[in-house]
Structure 1
């Protein structure tokens, strides 16, 4: 919604159940360097962006390291971040002291403490944060640091994944597994978080305190920033999620530039079509996403979209849940015009929506 703008709110209930425990702060159990270059971003040796495991005998592909070697290589680039509320993890982004972490790890704090793998602890300052992507930069009072290397593309399903962080306050902990899926969305998360879409899924153990830490491939490259897990109490077994490295580095560079990150904004609140909503709106077809509210003067409003409308498609992407809409917007830029298929009663039409930059108050 636009800052201080009134909204048109549909009389439809929001009944999204969030079966998610976001990792994050667990309960308390100025550059003087010549180099401020960001962490390296690596693609595969053949120039493609996808990760790949295997040997070097065909095509010059770098072989995977052993897990102990991966930990030895990457652990010095992973830190623990202490706040007044608890702790989380972070990844060294630049040699001169910038650390990349989750926004929810440092939320509500300006000053933090950063602990390094060599045992040294220094003060840190929150330099920039973006709640939409759940990423933040912390400036640690230390230089000549081992910046991590980030993979430029997405990993492959089945590829080795090693998680390094500080779960439950146990610093410098490593767990391992594989990449279980890509482009994941946490069901029911759209009502509480913009960040839990288009994620990497892994079965490597992620626990509270891992947030902001590293998910690493077999070549010691960061492929994701630990974000969330679904707890066993919800019947889940080894369901962890991470922000992909390409997203993390893109946002980090925007935050370094001016302290903000751009996000495509449609100007509406999406909701799941529950049986109650379907009955209330007399919907015979329950596919799509219901529009709960529309920001007055926003892109959706200008395109004629109204509360109670059903959005079934954006571009070539069919929508079946609010998270689908958020994921579709994550892939687009402010200023881009997208074709949006809507259904109102028995009438279906396609309208062009010119996306805007998300107002800061929407974070």
Structure 2
């Protein structure tokens, strides 16, 4: 198993951030060119080497059985436009969980099952913030996947099942490489690429919306994105945690929408270079580029030009960290932001609002 490259320096990461941000979300969508496919080989075992003792991780011999058990719960989603992605059977009566960007702009799709049957599916609810969607397939009596809503452990077996580049029922294997990951620069064009599970199991265009499962055959994540080799990456794939997916799916089932805490400001990451150029007294934080009129941030007195350095005591090093931190709060909750303003540090109490519903 190849070891993922060490993170680049901040300067190098910023230089490449525009490329990474533009490819990260769409890089897992089947409408992209095949050149986006990951070039890293799948791992052959969930173990990290040495003689494992009393480990709950699956052995090589277990992996084929896990795949056989889970594949019937993973589907391929076809769009009339020619795009495709993957999905996971959420309920036995035909409800499919997938990515919002897989079904974006579609009202109806075709859903193909592991047994070869293909039926019409109707897009019933979407959530742009978490990039999740529900599709109702015209079929019942299906094998619903089992979801593990607790976060997996780093080093745990990870098996990705989906339809990369249209190759249906494809499985790749590796490990869970990291938790609570944010893709640098993604906040400028997406709210979904934060608080993700990282894996080195190969994820390619078409895997979007498919399953990342553990050694017990439980879904621990919904495949979301990958960073392609052109950006200097080796085996960097990302998934929405199953806990987030289930929570949002249940909200969408209830009334078709999911609630998310809302500040109402435009953030930008402050790097040490930017801080030095602007003569700031901090080396990292989140600059407020604009404040929406009447928003929670405006009501709390946040001003354009403020630098947010922490939220409820947790330091903020990037815009993506701010978006990830908001995932832990509900609309109506009050949080304390530490703000640098004209060389002075002030504390601001913000009562979070509910994010307006966005069209997919």
Shared fold per TM-score greater than 0.5: yes
Return the match for 1:325 from 315, 322, 326. 322
- Tell me, which stretches of 5 or more residues in structure 2 are unaligned? 1-15, 35-52
Return the match for 1:309 from 285, 306, 309. 306
Q: Pairwise mapping of residues 222-237 of structure 1 onto structure 2 (< 5 A)?
A: 222-237=219-234
Partner of 1:149: 146
Partner of 1:288: 285
Q: Pairwise mapping of residues 34-73 of structure 1 onto structure 2 (< 5 A)?
A: 66-73=62-69
* 8 Å Cα contact 1:18-1:189 kept in structure 2: no
Q: Using the TM superposition, give the Cα deviation of residue 281 of structure 1 relative to its aligned residue in structure 2, in angstroms.
A: 4.5
Return the match for 1:21 from 21, 24, 29. 24
**Cα RMSD for the two superposed structures:** 2.4
Q: Using the TM superposition, give the Cα deviation of residue 91 of structure 1 relative to its aligned residue in structure 2, in angstroms.
A: 0.1
CA distance in 2, matches of 1:185, 1:280: 25
Q: Using the TM superposition, give the Cα deviation of residue 58 of structure 1 relative to its aligned residue in structure 2, in angstroms.
A: 8.3
3-state DSSP of counterpart to 1:246: helix
Q: Using the TM superposition, give the Cα deviation of residue 152 of structure 1 relative to its aligned residue in structure 2, in angstroms.
A: 2.1
Task: Provide closer, same or farther for how the CA distance between residues 144 and 62 of structure 1 changes in structure 2, counting only shifts above 3 A.
Answer: farther
Q: Using the TM superposition, give the Cα deviation of residue 284 of structure 1 relative to its aligned residue in structure 2, in angstroms.
A: 4.0
Q: Note if 1:215 corresponds to 2:209.
A: no
Task: Provide closer, same or farther for how the CA distance between residues 362 and 319 of structure 1 changes in structure 2, counting only shifts above 3 A.
Answer: farther
Q: Using the TM superposition, give the Cα deviation of residue 345 of structure 1 relative to its aligned residue in structure 2, in angstroms.
A: 1.5
CA distance in 2, matches of 1:18, 1:362: 25
Question: Which structure's residues are more often helix, by fraction?
Answer: 2
Q: Using the TM superposition, give the Cα deviation of residue 165 of structure 1 relative to its aligned residue in structure 2, in angstroms.
A: 0.1
CA distance in 2, matches of 1:180, 1:63: 16
Partner of 2:91: 94
3-state DSSP of counterpart to 1:25: coil
Q: Using the TM superposition, give the Cα deviation of residue 249 of structure 1 relative to its aligned residue in structure 2, in angstroms.
A: 0.2
CA distance in 1, matches of 2:246, 2:161: 18
| Runs of 4 or more consecutive aligned structure 1 residues displaced over 3 Å after TM superposition | 61-65, 274-282
Q: 1:217-266 CA distances to partner (integer Å, 9 max, x unpaired)? A: 00000000000000000110000000000000000000001000000001
Q: 1:325-345 CA distances to partner (integer Å, 9 max, x unpaired)? A: 000001111111000000012
Q: Using the TM superposition, give the Cα deviation of residue 18 of structure 1 relative to its aligned residue in structure 2, in angstroms.
A: 4.5
CA distance in 2, matches of 1:58, 1:185: 33
3-state DSSP of counterpart to 2:126: strand
Return the match for 2:80 from 84, 108, 117. 84
* 8 Å Cα contact 2:57-2:215 kept in structure 1: no
Task: Provide closer, same or farther for how the CA distance between residues 281 and 307 of structure 1 changes in structure 2, counting only shifts above 3 A.
Answer: farther
3-state DSSP of counterpart to 1:302: helix
Return the match for 2:112 from 111, 115, 133. 115
CA distance in 2, matches of 1:84, 1:275: 47
CA distance in 1, matches of 2:32, 2:231: 22
3-state DSSP of counterpart to 1:145: coil
Q: Pairwise mapping of residues 248-263 of structure 1 onto structure 2 (< 5 A)?
A: 248-263=245-260
CA distance in 2, matches of 1:286, 1:219: 43
Partner of 1:200: 197
Partner of 2:48: none
* 8 Å Cα contact 1:26-1:169 kept in structure 2: no
Task: Provide closer, same or farther for how the CA distance between residues 63 and 166 of structure 1 changes in structure 2, counting only shifts above 3 A.
Answer: closer
Partner of 1:349: 346
| TM-score (normalised: structure 2) | 0.85
Partner of 1:7: none
* 8 Å Cα contact 1:28-1:87 kept in structure 2: no
Q: Using the TM superposition, give the Cα deviation of residue 269 of structure 1 relative to its aligned residue in structure 2, in angstroms.
A: 1.1
Partner of 2:296: 299
Q: 1:38-78 CA distances to partner (integer Å, 9 max, x unpaired)? A: xxxxxxxxxxxxxxxxxxx989x797771101101000000
Task: Provide closer, same or farther for how the CA distance between residues 141 and 309 of structure 1 changes in structure 2, counting only shifts above 3 A.
Answer: same
